[in-house]
Structure 1
Amino acid sequence: MNKREVRTIPAKELRITPLAADGTRTISGTAIVFGQRSQDLGNFVEIVAPGAVAKTLSSGQNVLLLNNHNSSQPIASTASRTLQLTTDLRGVSFTAKLDTRQSYANDLALSIESGVTSGCSFGFMTLDDSYADDAGTLVRTLNQIDLFELSVTVSPAYLQTAVDIRSRCPKELRSLLDDDDDDCTCERDEAGNKVDPNCTCDDDDLVSESERSRMLLKIEIAKRK
């Protein structure tokens, strides 16, 4: 079963326009960059392939833009036509109308202007990925993803959450995920579950159940709006 994942990167050229007569401001930037290696995500790096979101964009499914992952603070959506997503050779760009009559939206506008908010996250499920050994570095390529959320965030770091990469990685490359000073690895079945439930060797590879539950709950609430 595919799991929901979230990535956060520095938003490229995050911009905001002056206040319009109708009380809205427009924010824009690049949310996903194609062909660029991430930072180390835990003994592997990641690349988003060009065309990875083609299926999402062609399907017309709703994509939300949230304020700092807060599902109770939606900024825009493709369904309401307040969020537009476009792709080019560089990546996925977004343009969104921000209604400053909402206090949190106005606060966000000020935070973007001051430079405090400078990141953008995207939430997705992996439909197709591949793995390669590049001189001892495990490289994961996201070939096709189901994009369901963008979020303007404070953090500029590219971070990984809620994915057990070991269960998806080919067995012959899993050794690249291990720290040089730690040869202990829990054996897992095809679904990513531990064969021995008492094994604790690689618990750090996974987020806690409470963290995963909180994230999944936020996503489900957002999808129902």
Structure 2
Amino acid sequence: MPKLGMAPIRRKQLIEATYLVLHRDGIDDLTLKKIATEAGVATSIITHYFGTKEALIADTMSDLVGSLLREVRDRRKQATSTIDEIVAIVDGNFAPSQVSPTAVSAWLYFWSRVPYDPAFDRMQRICDYQLRKYLAKSLKDIVSKDEADDIAETIVSLSYGFWLQFAHRQGDFDVARAHRMALQVIEARIQMAWQNNLHLRARTSLTNQDWS
């Protein structure tokens, strides 16, 4: 009989094994037997905790998305300014847990299934919504809502693009350089939006004076 409190530990162990086998062998050769061997357990343990391979994969992808949101959330808690909060989102996307070879393989598989799997699509929407919510809160006093949306798209697009490059060039891809480039682009985008807002406020003020 399993020990009390063993279920979360065992489930995490099996999810970690799924990451490893997915990265090593690819989704087409991902079998319960291989996962069980990697985890050092019997195949029946997997079916006991997850039921099916599909359920295990779904839980693994949920863990993947959750890990990104945790990375961002934990960094935002330590932020001491609006800019730090925005940087926290970029930093979370480039955290070691997100750019490891196993994580990149999992993200690539996840994105390939989002257009075809409603459960994956829902996870992606939740992830995007939460990141946009963080950005909207941080940017509300600096830029307009439309500009905040544009900045959010920039962050997501940069992250996805760098991840794809990393997946194809793992041997010679400089993650630190990619992180730095992403921050530079975001900084320039925010500065431009902020200056545009200042100019707009100045023009509005002059217009109001003309009417007074």
State the TM bucket, normalised to the shorter chain: under 0.3
More helix by share: 2
Q: Tell me the TM-score normalized by structure 2.
A: 0.26
Higher relative contact order (CA 8 A, sep 6+): 1
